[in-house]
Structure 1
Amino acid sequence: MSALSGQERRAGRASKFRYNSQVALRDPTTLIGILAALLFGYLIIVPIISLLVDAGRVQFGDERRIGGEPGAFTLYYINRALFSPVAQSLFWTPLTNTLAVAFGAISISLAIGGPLAWLVSRTDMFARRWFATALIVPFMLPAWTFALAWATLFKNRSVGGQLGWFEALGLTPPDWLAYGQVPITIILALNYIPFFILLFGNALRRFDSQLEDSARMLGANTPTVALKIIGPLMLPALMSAIILAFAKAIGEFGVPYVLGLPVNYDLLATGLYRSISSRQTGVAAVLATAILLIGAIALLVDARLVREARKFVTVGGKGAMARRSALGPMRIPATAFAALIFVVSVGLPLLTLVLSTIMRVPANFAFSNFTLDYWIGTNLDTVALRTGILLAPALWSAAFNTLWIVGTASICSGILGLLVGYVVVRTPVWPLAGFLRHVTFFPYMVPGIAFAAAYLSLFAVQRGPIPALYGTVAILMLALIADQMPYASRAGISAMMQLGKDPEEAAQVAGAGWLRRMIWVVIPIQKGALMTGVLLPFISGIKGLSLFVILAVPATDVLTTYSLRLVDYNYTQAANAVVLIIAGIAYFGTVLAQKLTKTNLADGLGS
């Protein structure tokens, strides 16, 4: 009898499974989810696998050197990059430099950003709300904007081209100050300060002041409150900011390219670029894999910290107090400190770039030295750029490519992000929802330079029915869509979680099919989320460099690669002018995104 009951139970479970499967297959979200999973599996997972495989197989052109057929398994590239006589210069020195720069930049940005986060979040500092926005401007601008400003000021005779401002004034900066570890560390530190203001400041704003009051009522002094109450509760947010800054530093390319390559100071990202430029594809795959693994481990640790932090939620909620501390006599010095950081990290670099584009001779402030020739002049005495930058056809071609490529990719990312959000929230197949949620976030764990190398590995040659895409607009669009999906998918998932099923069900009862419901119900209601899913990838793509510098060719030149080529030509004024255009688009695009979505970046990055 019990055996019969067991058979009946198994039959019942099988029948229920078949019924649920049939229901799931009839649901349009299942088909859409499967298609999306296949698409993102190919655009995200397959390039990474291709990159990993390239590190262990003979590359075309190396068969005689290695003694194997192209595609055969080999450990040659791993041995060459890690253990050969040239491994020190190929891998270990760039790795050491990368870690030294990353830890140095994080230490400086933590020492400055931590106090600033507290000042703008929990004190009565003068102009607190203005500083809350002003101090995160570096987050909205390309990091290498500030590297070009530094080079404009401190460049010396170690490299050719126009004099730096200090040298033009008779002061020759030493090499260690003009190039290499020190300036790269300082620039990255200034660029990462907003991480601490956003993440740490957001946690401070949510901290309940009643916890401090309770501790003081029990006799705890200020150091005890800071170490025993505030510190442990703020540690997850602080560690998250540190790890995110570290992951970003590992893949940073623009700053070390401008300030490191002139003196052969290589980081992993520039070492990867050198390997690709010299067609050492196998070694490049090893370096890219190292960058990928370090970035992935850092962000996995961050995800673990976020999960641990949720176990220690403070009691408060809507009734929580976030009382501001009175600075008293320190109010003016605190405000002066914030103003100084703003001037150094935003005001001075941008002013330097602007002035450099309207000066014939560097650092000569005589009225006769100012000119608009580098913007709108004609018949200039430069070899490859005979007109001002606004009259150069190459600028407008690069601008058109930028808007066309980044704009199209961003629109596709926004639509796909909304569809991913729809499937994740609506599908009855939870493994499919989980896969889409995680695979669309995975590019955030891969530094851009490594992701570009992965796409180069996959699409450099024809594979089956997929033709070789290197050198085409298609490879840039596909890489951008995949790279920006973390922003677009999170916007879509967040929006769909807030949308109930009632509007759709009402339309379905009225006879509307799935496509009609999406066009006339879901998209109009979630137009804000769709706009966010388009604008965030657009802003990130406009100022992005790592993907383009690997995948773009002269025919697909964009503003970032065009400006970098002007840097290589030592056309300082023209390069700085293009970077100012990029910075303006990125900044005003961010402001527009905040206006349209009624959000405020200064309120924190949230979860």
Structure 2
Amino acid sequence: MVSKTGKPLRAPVRAMSPRVSSGTLHYWFRTKASDPTSLLALGLLVLFLYLIAGPIFLLLSDALRVHFPEQGRTGLPQGAFTSYYLERAMFSPISQAVFWRPLANTAQIAVGAIVVSLVVGAPLGWLLSRTNLPGKRWYSTALIVPYMLPSWTFALAWTTLFSNRTTGGTPSWMESFGFSPPDWLAYGQFPITMILALHYTPFVILLFGNALRQFDAQLEDAARIMGAGRLTIARKIVLPLMLPSLVSACTLIFAKALGDFGVAYILGVPINYNVLATSLFRAISTSQAGMTAVLAGTIVLFGVLSILIDMRLLREAGRFQTIGSKGAMDRTTDLGKWGVAASGWAMFVFIVSAAIPLMALALTTVMIRPGVFTPDNFTLAYWIGSDLGTTALRQGILLTPEFWRATWNSLWIVGSASLGAGFLGLLVGIAVVRAPMRSAGMMLRQITFLPYLVPGIAFAAAYLSMFAVPRGPLPALYGTYMILILAILADQMPFASRAGISAMMQLGKDPEEAARIVGAGWWKRLTAIVIPIQKGALVAGVMLPFISGIKGLSLVVVLAVPGTDLLTTYAIRLVDNGYTQASNAVVLMICLIAFFGTIGVQRLTKSKLSDGLGGK
């Protein structure tokens, strides 16, 4: 076709483009509506970049930016790049008190806790996994009880038993018995180390005991036939195969001890014995944003390194595999006449690590003067009394409105965060397993695991840095319930997302494909098929964060204010005010919720602690 001038006419490309573009876009939307997992992955990625990666990045950047109070000292405008806070933390006259001494104390406590945990836990792991220990099934659960309960519970029990007149307050049991504990026993490094060691000994029992269960006893038999002695077998065969599990337990204990706040706060702060966590809390309390960032960044760095080492060891553990029959691996050692002594040792550890502390806390709540066992000294006033005669606590705990408000706050705040974490964890599982965009799924998997690498008090500092002022669509949240819900939700995503990913990896595509064939949309398939099938995983993804959130202190102690108190922060405020009996009563309530909640999770998920130990 030509024009009047004889030149050929061009096709109307521009006129056709809108129709082609519109059709392509319409087709793209129809495709994504029928299977929006890619959009889901991108949406969740943006959400968790904002809720997890954003606060951590902002916190770390605070260490290198001038803040308003330091403009005069640095001579730089607010927001300018500076090394002032790093130099102040590490090289100034106050660096010893603020940074280096707390760092050294933290390292000493962590190493000490590791050593004690290995000495106590490794023999118990062997007894529970490779011997016919009397009462093995009961011990398999009883010896894990210390980890079911908040670590700072046992710090309160320690002060009840061993505190002295150095810091005043209510006399301890030992003082009532006529013995004044020395300072090293009452406060500071020794009690903090022992409490953390006993609290985290279950790590060693579980990891070491489970590794021993997988150890093939035929290797020992072969070495014994070749003439090797017991020490040679232990040094050249057993120890190399057990080393990954032992080092993994050590790194986990080190990471947990780094960020543990409650124990050091109760047993260290009264005598000015600081670790990184309490030094960080002091910096937050005095509004030192730059110093907060430096201290939190240090905790994050060591936490990340320790967990990365653990992850590497888990991968390397694949190199330490043996081949043998199931019967050979399950072979147990007959303790014979040593059975009673071994059972006595296990019972002694349980009594020291769980029974005595809980009994001391319980008895203190019904005693006027701790450690005095006369009939006239027992009372229920701290539970149901109506006129205690104290300034800020007029009634017993069960009659105090603040206690019930803190209980309600704990249930609905932690419950809301746990429900959100559980549902989002399932969506993360769908996005990671089902989304065609593998890169988005991989990034989503890593970001949701990030809070596990950051100790609780450092993560709380990150949230305070992020949401103390308006950010994006959200107003300033400090002092509100929302900052607690978001922080707990984000902090528990590693557990919830792993539960969701694991569940979706075990679910085939056939049920969803059948529903798609009959015309069910994505949301209908999710609510009618995926959620009902995965209700067990969803329950686990809700309950595990709930139990962890109920007993957690390090995360919420920075973010809660008196109007938004949870049970944990309410108990700490009672400790600060010197109401020992009342604070112990609140802690017992937390312990009951945490313990029975943990048992409930095991029943719902049909799992047992003894499964990890080989108890039968």
Same fold (TM over 0.5): yes
Residue of structure 1 equivalent to 2:580 = 572
In structure 1, how many angstroms separate the alpha carbons of the residues matched to 2:320 and 2:39?
40
2:511 to 499, 503, 520: 503
Equivalent residue letter for 2:507: L
- Aligned partner of 1:107 in structure 2 is 115
CA 1:464 to 1:430, structure 2 compared with 1: closer, same or farther past 3 Å? closer
Q: Indicate the residue corresponding to 1:470 in structure 2.
A: 478
Any unmatched runs of 5+ in structure 2?
Answer: 1-26
Matched residue, 2:429: 421
Are residues 1:324 and 2:355 paired?
A: no
Q: 1:411 to 1:464 in 2, by over 3 A?
A: closer
41 and 388 in structure 1: CA distance in 2 versus 1, 3 angstrom threshold: same
After the TM superposition, which residues 187-586 of structure 1 pair with which residues of structure 2 at under 5 Å, given as runs? 187-316=195-324, 321-586=329-594
| 1:148 maps to amino acid | L
Letter in 2 for 1:555: G
Give the whole-Å Cα distance in 2 for the aligned partners of 1:311 and 1:45: 33
- Is the Cα contact below 8 Å between 1:198 and 1:603 reproduced in 2? no
- Give me the CA root mean square deviation: 1.7
1:10 is matched with none
* Residue equivalent to 1:145: 153
Distance verdict in 2 for CA 1:179–1:227, change over 3 Å:
same
Distance across 2 between alignment mates of 1:90 and 1:511: 64
Question: Which is worse superposed, 169-178 or 400-409?
Answer: 169-178
Give the counterpart of 1:91 among 88, 99, 104.
Answer: 99
Name the CA distance, whole Å, in 1 between partners of 2:225 and 2:33: 61
Are 1:588 and 2:596 an aligned pair? yes
TM-superposed CA distance for 1:347, in Å, is: 0.3
1:585, 1:60 → 2: CA distance? 43
CA apart distance, 1:75? 1.1
The offset of 1:24, in angstroms, is 7.8
TM-score by length of 2: 0.93
Quick one: distance in 1 between partners of 2:486 and 2:449?
16
Q: How many residues align?
A: 588
Query: Residue 605 of structure 1: CA displacement?
Result: 9.5
Give the whole-Å Cα distance in 2 for the aligned partners of 1:522 and 1:116.
41
Q: Is the 8 A contact 1:24 1:429 kept in 2?
A: no
| Residue in structure 1 matched with residue 13 of structure 2 by the alignment | none
Q: Distance in 1 between matches of 2:222 and 2:148?
A: 39
Deviation at 1:510, TM superposition (A): 1.6
Secondary structure (helix, strand or coil) at the match of 2:373 reads: coil
1:221 Cα deviation after fit: 2.2
Whichever residue aligns with residue 456 of structure 1, its letter is: L
> Residue type of the partner of 1:210?
Q
Alignment of 1:55-134 (within 5 A): 55-134=63-142
* 8 A Cα contact 1:418 1:488, kept in partner: yes
Partner of 1:6: none
Letter in 1 for 2:398: L
The one-letter code matched in structure 1 to 2:338 is M
Q: Tell me the alpha carbon deviations over residues 78-117 of structure 1, each in whole angstroms, 9 at most, x when there is no partner.
A: 1110110110101000000000000011100110000000
Report the alpha carbon displacement of residue 450 of structure 1 after superposing the two structures with TM.
0.4
Cα deviation code 1:542-571 (max 9, x no counterpart)? 000011111111111100000000000110
SS of the counterpart of 1:467?
Answer: coil
Range 524-533 or range 51-60, more displaced:
51-60
Separation in structure 2 between the aligned mates of residue 36 and residue 219 of structure 1, nearest angstrom: 60
Q: Which amino acid aligns with 1:395?
A: F
Cα distance in 2, alignment partners of residues 26 and 215 from structure 1: 61
Corresponding residue SS for 2:210: helix
Rg comparison, structure with higher value: 2
> By how many angstroms is 1:306 displaced?
0.7
Q: CA deviation at 1:186?
A: 0.6
Q: For 1:509-561, what per-residue CA distance to the aligned partner results, in whole angstroms no more than 9, with x for missing partners? A: 12111111111111111100000000000000000001111111111110000
Shift of 1:21: 13
Contact 2:34 2:521 survives alignment (8 Å): no
Whether the aligned pair in 1 keeps the contact of 2:140 and 2:613 (CA below 8 Å) is: no
Q: Distance in 1 between matches of 2:453 and 2:324?
A: 33
Structure 2 contact 45–443 (Cα < 8 Å) conserved: yes
Contact 1:24 1:428 in 2 (8 A): no
Map of 2:163 onto structure 1: 155
Distance 1:605 1:244, change over 3 A: farther
| CA shift digits 1:261-296 (9 cap, x unpaired) | 000000000000011111111101100000000000
Post-superposition shift, 1:505? 1.0
> C-alpha distance in 2, partners of 1:207/1:439?
35
445-454 or 223-232, larger mean C-alpha shift? 223-232
1:198–1:602 contact (8 Å) kept in structure 2: no
Q: Distance in 1 between matches of 2:302 and 2:47?
A: 26
- Percent identity over the alignment? 61
For 2:492, give the aligned amino acid: Q
TM-superposed CA distance for 1:215, in Å, is: 2.4
Q: Distance in 1 between matches of 2:59 and 2:613?
A: 32
- TM-superposed CA distance for 1:23, in Å, is 7.2
Measured at CA, do residues 542 and 172 of structure 1 come closer, stay the same or move farther in structure 2, by a change above 3 Å? same
Change (3 A) 1:25 1:300: farther
Deviates more, 1:307-316 or 1:46-55: 307-316
1:600 aligns with 2:611: no
Task: State the one-letter code of the partner of 1:37.
Answer: L
Residue 541 of structure 1 aligns to a residue in which SS? helix
Where 1:151 maps in the other structure, the secondary structure is helix
Structure 2 partner of 1:176 = 184
Give the TM-score normalised by the residue count of structure 1.
0.95
**Matched residue SS, 1:548:** coil
Aligned equivalents of 1:211, 1:486: Cα separation in 2 = 38
Deviation at 1:155, TM superposition (A): 1.1
Q: Distance in 2 between matches of 1:412 and 1:321?
A: 42
Contiguous gaps of at least 5 residues in structure 1: 1-18
The 8 Å contact of residues 192 and 263 in structure 2, kept in 1 or not, is answered as yes
Question: Do the aligned residues in 2 keep the contact of 1:423 with 1:433 (CA within 8 Å)?
Answer: yes
Whole-angstrom CA distance in 1 between matches of 2:127 and 2:509: 43
Question: Structure 1 stretch 318-327 or stretch 337-346: which is displaced more?
Answer: 318-327
Cα drift, residue 63 of structure 1:
1.8
CA distance in 2, matches of 1:463, 1:518: 32
Distance in 1 (alpha carbons) for counterparts of 2:452 and 2:28: 34
> Match for 1:49: what amino acid?
F
> Helix, strand or coil: the match of 2:492?
helix
For residues 31-65 of structure 1, the C-alpha deviation after alignment (integer angstroms, 9 at most, x for no partner) is 11100111111111111110011011111222223
Query: Which amino acid is the alignment partner of residue 149 of structure 1?
Result: A
Give the Cα–Cα distance (whole angstroms) in 1 for the partners of residues 224 and 432 of structure 2. 46
1:305 is displaced (CA, Å) by 0.7
Q: Deviations over 1:192-215 (max 9, x none)?
A: 110101111111112222222222
Equivalent residues of 2:160, 2:360 under 8 A apart = yes
